[in-house]
Every structure is written in structure tokens, then in C-alpha cells.
Structure 1
Amino acid sequence: MLTCMMVPLAGCMPQDKAVGDTQETAAAIAHDGVDRADATVGVVGSTDAAKTSLDSQVVEAIGNDRMPALYAAGNTDAGSQQKAVRDFLDRNVKAIILHADQSTGWEETLTAARKAGIPVILLASAIEPDDQTLYAARFVVVPRDTQTGGVNYGIGDALMRVIDDKPHAKTMNVLLTGVE
């Protein structure tokens, strides 16, 4: 019985790629992805109280881009952040933004997200997983008028590229839409 239940989950996990990071080029056949209004994003906040304002701004910007966002405070330890990721997996979010501060102990939790077929995006994160298949992208928040030499995406557009598995860089510059 357990084997039968695990087989469908294996289809959610691309081989040698991160969930949400499998396309190097645009698909030859256009497809209709998830609607923004249905793309609930789980945001796991920092364990550092000084960094929680960024978490609030990210949640606000996601809402400004017409996407539902759920927030889980990081509290003071990586264990509570890892529990929040598992809770978001149970809630079947379309993506998880992780503002991790501690660099160890993430393999099991990120592997669970991968097996569930839910892309993980690192935000201003201290973690650098050796296994690049455990996260789809890293978001770097840039001020609105910053010239980065690359593409600056609104956070909603960046999230939809990951959720819909469209081509994107592993590190993406994002703007917090409508946040001052």
C-alpha cells in the first residue's frame, strides 16, 4: 500500500534538476500555467528579528502582485523554519520562499519539498546547498532604480516563472512591487 502511494510522488521530482528549474529554453508548445490567484506562496521568515522587515515586505509585495501568501515566522531557530516548510507542504502551496539564516540541517526538509513537487526559492539566505536540485532559484531583492546588468523581475513575475517552470537564472533579481 505504501509503495503505491509513493509512486505518484516520484513523478513530481525531475531527475537531476530542481523542481521549478527544469527549462533552459522556452517550451516549443505553449502551455497555460497556474493562475496567479491560485498560486499560494508560503513564506518562511528569518530567525533574526532584525531581518523580519524584509519578510513583511516580501509578503506585501506578493499580495500586491495578486498572489495569496502565507507567512510563518522563523522564530529563533532553524527547527521552527524547517517545521514551517513541512507545514506548507501539507497545505499544498505552489512555491516556498525560504529566508534561512542557519546553513546546516536543511537537506531532509528541502528533499521533502522536492519530492512533493514544490519549488523552493531562497531569499537573502545563508544556506548554500551542495545539491543544486534542492532549490529552484535564489531571489536577491534589489531597490527599484538599481541597474544590475541583468533582468529585474517583479516578485510576482519571478515567482510565476518558477511555478510555471519557465526558463530563469538560478539567481534572480527581484523588485518588491508596490512596497516603499
Structure 2
Amino acid sequence: MNRKSYRACQVLLNMQRKAENEHYHGWPGKPVNAPVETMYPNLVAEMGCGFPWLYLPAEFADVSKEIMAAVLEDNEELSRPELMRLGRCMGVPIGYLTAPEVSFVDPATNKGKARKQYLADLMKQVEGLDILEKWRAEYALSDLESGRAVTYAFYRCAVNVLQAALEDNQRAQHKPRSTRRRATA
């Protein structure tokens, strides 16, 4: 794991441990500031963005919270079926979950530029809508526009928030068809 990925995992998992200790039933693994060694840095990043409690990925993978804590901080491995269930529930491919480095959206690359443009287009489409977590997209877009990379997990979460808001708005505006039959001449 490179230094950037290692640092991102340290920060994200420390925040995760604190949140679990303060708001849930406590973290079953190491103390809050203990060092982290994980085979799944993108899973740690996903938890930092969209899966705030340890029990969710544990349930998705069908393992205990203790095993999931060991996976996240002690370099424990998940079996292939556990990874498949986890990936399916999170909506990500297994290759992304098992990548040795945290995946970033870098605005200096062509792919990063395309993703930045896609996020900007989505932001224009949701203009005027009241979206609870719109700040995520605003923050991600602001970082990308100023040349800073964001984790792919954070980008994915921001896009999902905006897409869900667009779908909800389209459903609300959809007028059901009349069930009355028209007379034919």
C-alpha cells in the first residue's frame, strides 16, 4: 500500500472507530488511534462515505462485526463468496474492493476530467431541488475543479445522491395515465 493510500485508510478508520464508539455499540477491534493494515483500502474508503456503521458491511458479507473489524485493520482476508456478497450489496466490482491501493478520481487525467464534467452536469440538472446531502457533491466538485483528487468512493457517493434526487423528482412529476377509456368513432 502506498503512502497516500495508507494515510487515507488511517484517517478513515480512525473516524470510523470514533463514530462506532460514540454512537453505536463500540468498535470490536483495536483502539481508536491504533495503526491499520488492510488488504481492502477501498472498502475502508466506502465505509467512510456511505456505510457509516461496521454492522452493514459485516451483514453484507455475512460475517460477524469482529471478523469485519479484523478485515479492516488486521489484514484478514475475506473469502471469495463473502467478497461477492459484499460487492453485490455495495454495487461495486470485486476487483475494486480487492485493489491494493485506494482508488482516486484525479482531475489531471482524462478519466478524471470526464468524471468531473459528469458531476458538474448532474449538479446543473438538480439545481433548484432540495437535496439533503447535496453538500457531498458540491464538496467533491469543488475539490476536482481546484485540481485536488477525491476518493472514488466519495465521488461515487456524491453521484449516487444526485442521481437518486433526479429519479425521485422524475417520479414525483410523473402523471399517471387515465384509466378512463376514450370513445372511438
TM-score normalised per structure 1? 0.25
More strand as a share of residues = 1
More helix as a share of residues = 2
Q: Per chain length, whose mean CA-contact separation is higher, i.e. which structure has more relative contact order (CA < 8 Å, sep 6+)?
A: 1
TM-score normalised per structure 2? 0.25
Over alpha carbons, which structure has the higher Rg? 2
